[in-house]
Amino acid sequence: MPAQGRVERRGSRVPAEVGLTQLRGIAQVALSSSPWTGLLFTVGLFADSWRIGVYGLLGAAASALAAAVLGADRRGLANGLEGYCGCLTAIAVVVRLGASWRTAVLAVLAAAVCAVVSAAAGRLLGRAGLPALTAPFCLVAGALAIALPPAAAAAAPPAATDRFTTLSATQLGHAFCNGVGQVFFLDKWYAGLILLAGLLVASRTAAVAAACGSAVAILTACSLGLPADRISAGLYGYNAVLVAIALGATFLTLTPWTAGYATLAAVASVPFTAAWQAFAQPSGGSPFTWPFVVTTWLFLAAAPALDRPGISFEKAK
């Protein structure tokens, strides 16, 4: 993930640095290293539920602390790269298992394991020139989700129909906002809007990419005839939002070619997400952000082999 923010070390302002690291850790969920983005993201988490806010902060702190104790790279740590997977993992724990001392300990340990998995992913994927993205979170949270299923089993998602799904205006609005909100497991539309504002603070391109990603996902999901209530809940959108931010505003230089390339990737992420949900459902699992991770890896790995402005980024070097 990008190291946009410069880390400034002024004298002994350790508490301020820790706070910045914490906020950057939360911002990195959407590939940003701006503490302002992190601040607004945190507001969005608490706007949805105080439990999600507390566990998010706890997970990011636990993961960063574990990375510091284990002696991980200090630059990445200061940029929040050691926080975002722990943050998401802890939120996944509280959303599934509820808040208690027991799940808090579990969230802290899982976040610590995220730090190790992030280091491993960084080394293994670095050889192929690929970023780790949220893969460590997906792996750790995925294992926990299947090992410790919630009391009530999730209902099987209804199958796609062979007709275009139509949405009411309210459903459409909810689908758009929740597509952004579900990046953090948020299911209140205004929380999604706060996240979007958080993106806007750091980069107009990222915010526009996220909005376009959510819109593209709704259109694709409706074309595939996927169920309206799940589209409205943002369940097909969050991966497309992240794909659009990653390819449209982060790892590739923005050109008309890149915009089309990112759009194709966002479109592809929707059936991929639907497939992963259907596949993981019987064992109580969830796709989390695997569809985003795999789609982005494939489109980034393909880029240098393609000869179009903005896409073949490695050739420019």
Which spans of this chain sit near a copy of itself (rule: CB under 8 A)? 70-73, 97, 102, 109, 112-113, 116-120, 122-124, 127-128, 142-149, 159-160, 162, 224, 261, 264-265, 267-268, 271-272, 274-276, 278-279, 282-285, 297-302, 304-308, 311-312
Pull the structure tokens for residue 72: 């991980």
Least separation in angstroms between CB 214 and a copy of itself: 19
Q: If we measure between CA atoms, which residue out of 58, 87, 82, 85 comes closest to residue 71?
A: 82
Nearer to a copy of itself, 113 or 206 (CB): 113
Residue with tokens 């939360």: 26
Cβ atoms of 262 and 209 closer than 8 Å: yes
Between 213 and 285, name the residue whose CB sits nearer to a copy of itself. Answer: 285
Tell me whether residue 127 or residue 317 sits nearer to a copy of itself (CB atom): 127
d(CA 248, CA 77): 25
Q: How far is the CB of 307 from a copy of itself (least distance, A)?
A: 3
Six-digit token pair at 223?
Answer: 């074309």
Helix or strand run (H / E) with residue 292: helix 290-302
Residue number, 228 or 300, with CB nearest to a copy of itself: 300
Cβ–Cβ under 8 Å, residues 228 and 171 = yes
Nearer to a copy of itself, 5 or 310 (CB): 310
Least distance from a copy of itself to the Cβ atom of residue 14, Å: 20
Residue 29 or 81 with smaller CB distance to a copy of itself: 81
The identity of residue 19, as a single letter, is G
| Closest CB 135 distance from a copy of itself, rounded Å | 11
Q: What does the longest C-alpha to C-alpha distance in the chain come to?
A: 63
Nearest distance, CB of residue 235 and a copy of itself, angstroms:
13
Report, in Å, the least distance between residue 117 CB and a copy of itself. 5
Is residue 28 a contact partner of residue 88, using CB atoms and an 8 Å limit? no
- In angstroms, what is the minimal distance from the CB of 227 to a copy of itself? 12
Of 292 and 299, CB closest to a copy of itself: 299
Closest CA to 270 of 207, 228, 232, 219: 219
Give the span between the Cα atoms of 311 and 309, in whole angstroms.
Answer: 6
Q: What angle do CA 247, 36, 71 make, to 5 degrees?
A: 75
